[in-house]
Amino acid sequence: MIVIKRASLLRTYLDEETTNSSRVGFVPTMGALHEGHLSLIEGAKKENAIVVCSIFVNPTQFNDPKDFEKYPITIEADIELLEKAGVHVLFLPSVTEIYPNGTGQLPSYDLGYLETVLEGKYRPGHFQGVCQVMDRLMQLVKPDNLYMGQKDYQQCMVVKKLIQLTGIKVNLHTCITLRETDGLAMSSRNRRLNAEERQKAVIVSGVLDRIRKTVQPGPLEPIVSAAEQALKENGFKVDYVAVADADSLELPDEWDGSRPLVTLAAVYLNEVRLIDNMLIP
């Protein structure tokens, strides 16, 4: 595996190593890697001649500076995992490599409704930051295929919108969420949970699974309210629990029994923010 820290060197290397027939797969990450990330890499290896993984904790997508400061950094362990996984290139840039002109005058993106609901509502500016870094990374890597995890469901929809807005020629692959044996969605943030919090965190996936299994045609508000109450009773601070249209994230009042849905939640367990989602059916 080659580790490249400079944007210009990354582009030079890929230009030299790729031909018209060789495909590049890209897995963007913020590090603190786990099996979920490795599953994205495995998917990329099956479909591409060269797999590029990036590790960059993007400051522009953190609306809470304290969250940015506490994000887990495990570079040495991450490099070891990526080498074992067979990644060809690790792009490990500094902030100045990604934002050479600073972060004060970065472009904004017309994300429409996606930026007003759920994560967009509770993390203002977050998705602009996601688009800023993803736009820059895709310009540098120029991947044929992009691999992201379904756990960040709304983020995947935002990146799909970004691809449409910019005209970048890349295929987005949204890969299933990997879970621990007890059902907790794998996440880098799980490292910040102590033993007691880790045991309690699984309640989130349990609540969403209950919605998935019990939702019936008709009004959705009662089942959403019951789920929110269950989380609060177990000590979570709830940003949202929702049942949304799986394609648009619109929040219907009722379900017709056939429209594809997704149930999503974002909660705080003390200082750690956890998100999860499940498709219905």
Catalytic residues: 37
* Cβ count within 10 A of residue 107: 10
Radius of gyration, CA atoms only, the chain: 19
Block residue for tokens 């056939």: 258
In angstroms, the CA 228 to CA 150 distance is: 22
From first CA to last CA, the distance across the chain in angstroms is 40
Ramachandran region of residue 24, left (φ > 0), alpha (ψ -120 to 50) or beta? beta
Exposure string of 57-86, with b = 16+ CB inside 10 Å and e = fewer, is bbebbbeeeebeeebeebeeebbebbeebe
On whether 162 is known to bind a ligand per the annotation, the reply is no
On whether 61 is known to bind a ligand per the annotation, the reply is yes
On whether 135 is known to bind a ligand per the annotation, the reply is no
On whether 108 is known to bind a ligand per the annotation, the reply is no
On whether 125 is known to bind a ligand per the annotation, the reply is no
On whether 110 is known to bind a ligand per the annotation, the reply is no
Comparing C-alpha atoms, which of 3, 115, 104 is closest to residue 60? 104
On whether 199 is known to bind a ligand per the annotation, the reply is no
On whether 178 is known to bind a ligand per the annotation, the reply is yes
On whether 34 is known to bind a ligand per the annotation, the reply is yes
On whether 31 is known to bind a ligand per the annotation, the reply is yes
The shares of helix, strand and coil residues in the chain, as percent rounded to the nearest 5, are 45, 20, 35
On whether 184 is known to bind a ligand per the annotation, the reply is no
On whether 189 is known to bind a ligand per the annotation, the reply is yes
Which DSSP state fits 184?
Answer: P
Residue set of the binding site for beta-alanine:
61
Residue set of the binding site for ATP:
30-37, 149-152, 178, 186-189
Residue set of the binding site for (R)-pantoate:
61, 155
Residue set of the binding site:
30-37, 61, 149-152, 155, 178, 186-189
